[in-house]
């Protein structure tokens, strides 16, 4: 015999379960330097919490603009502090200042078959190096850091015509790994990926040559997933995950001073 009441109760439970599942999807705007690092961490977070994270990787400037224009993200992980601060100033994020979660490192990378045997900043003066990949200083914090390092070393004028400008730091890595540029300023997170480790080698750009790449996060104002976003930030800053980030090229926040 058909039990209408039991059927409606089961339907309500099923619908409630579907809504709960939908609410467990976190929309993440992530800086391009995080693309080599985050995917396995997102999987681990999902397994640990049941919260699925859908990440969009682009330059920090592009993501900030999208958020200010109304893109439906819940959490923004930038490669610097200025772009999330813009989001706060625009009234799109909570808090008075971004939450510091890591520090990035800028490196100079080249393919093993590039013919460059003595990789250094000073070697960039040589005209034999015809192309240098760099992320856009306007859109990407790592591009801004690379430009600062070139200025600090009095190299910018000498290399300006040989720069190959990429939209973001992940694209800069693609330029140099594909051979479209002989050398490139890229993130340590890219340089430590298995592919680039196998294809080439790098030197760290001296930290005193560029402003610290302090990376900040903001949670969007009014998001229904604020608690999930906070859980993900706590997850990133937990000791085990912080060590994983460090092994992947991002210094833990406690070292980012």
Same domain, 109 and 197: yes
Evaluate whether residue 140 is within a structural domain.
yes
Evaluate whether residue 14 is within a structural domain.
no
Same domain, 125 and 204: yes
Same domain, 220 and 197: no
Same domain, 159 and 73: no
Same domain, 132 and 99: no
Evaluate whether residue 194 is within a structural domain.
yes
Give the domain CATH number at 136. Answer: 3.40.190.10
Same domain, 98 and 217: yes
Is the per-residue pLDDT at 4 higher than 80?
A: no
Same domain, 163 and 228: no
Same domain, 202 and 221: no
Same domain, 29 and 85: yes
pLDDT single digits (tens) 194-239: 999 999 999 999 999 999 999 999 999 999 999 999 999 999 999 9
Alpha carbon separation from 71 to 10, 68, 96, 176, 186 (Å, rounded): 35, 7, 21, 31, 28
Evaluate whether residue 10 is within a structural domain.
no
Evaluate whether residue 4 is within a structural domain.
no
pLDDT single digits (tens) 112-149: 999 998 999 999 999 899 999 999 999 999 999 999 99
Structure tokens at 253: 């926040």
Evaluate whether residue 204 is within a structural domain.
yes
Alpha helices in the chain (DSSP H): 4-23, 38-49, 60-68, 82-89, 141-152, 156-159, 169-177, 188-191, 194-199, 226-236, 239-247
Domain span at residue 45 reads 22-103+213-255
pLDDT single digits (tens) 169-203: 999 999 999 999 999 999 999 999 999 999 999 99
Same domain, 217 and 97: yes
Q: What is the tally of structural domains in the chain?
A: 2
Note the maximum CA span of the chain.
87
Evaluate whether residue 158 is within a structural domain.
yes
Same domain, 220 and 98: yes
* Cβ atoms of 188 and 102 closer than 8 Å: no
Give me the percent of the chain exceeding a pLDDT of 70.
Answer: 89
* Cβ atoms of 235 and 241 closer than 8 Å: yes
Same domain, 35 and 125: no
* Cβ atoms of 127 and 210 closer than 8 Å: no
Evaluate whether residue 167 is within a structural domain.
yes
167 DSSP assignment: S
pLDDT single digits (tens) 237-249: 999 999 999 999 9
Q: Helices 60-68 and 82-89 sit at what angle, rounded to 10 degrees? A: 10
How many alpha carbons lie under 13 Å from residue 243 in its C-beta half-sphere? 2
């Amino acid at each position: 015999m058909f039990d209408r009441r039991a059927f409606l109760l089961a339907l309500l439970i099923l619908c409630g379960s579907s809504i709960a599942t939908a609410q467990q999807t976190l929309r993440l705007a992530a800086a391009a330097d995080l693309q080599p690092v985050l995917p396995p961490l997102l999987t681990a977070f999902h397994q640990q919490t049941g919260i699925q994270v859908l990440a969009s990787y682009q330059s920090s400037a592009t993501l900030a603009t999208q958020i200010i224009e109304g893109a439906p993200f819940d959490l923004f992980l930038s490669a610097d502090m200025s772009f999330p601060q813009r989001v706060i100033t625009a009234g799109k994020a909570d808090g008075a200042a971004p939450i510091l979660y890591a520090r990035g490192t800028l490196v100079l990378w080249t393919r093993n078959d590039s013919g460059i045997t003595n990789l250094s900043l000073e070697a960039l003066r040589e005209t034999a190096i015809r192309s240098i990949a760099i992320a856009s200083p306007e859109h990407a914090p790592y591009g801004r850091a690379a430009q600062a390092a070139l200025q600090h070393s009095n190299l910018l004028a000498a290399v300006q015509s040989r720069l190959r400008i990429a939209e973001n730091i992940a694209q800069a890595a693609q330029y140099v790994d594909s051979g479209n540029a002989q050398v490139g300023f890229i993130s340590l997170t890219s340089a430590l990926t298995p592919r680039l480790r196998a294809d080439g080698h790098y030197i760290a750009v001296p930290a005193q040559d560029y402003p610290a790449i302090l990376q900040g996060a903001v949670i969007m104002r009014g998001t229904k997933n604020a608690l999930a976003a906070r859980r993900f930030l706590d997850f990133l800053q937990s000791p085990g995950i912080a060590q994983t980030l460090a092994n992947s090229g991002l210094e833990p926040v406690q070292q980012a001073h």
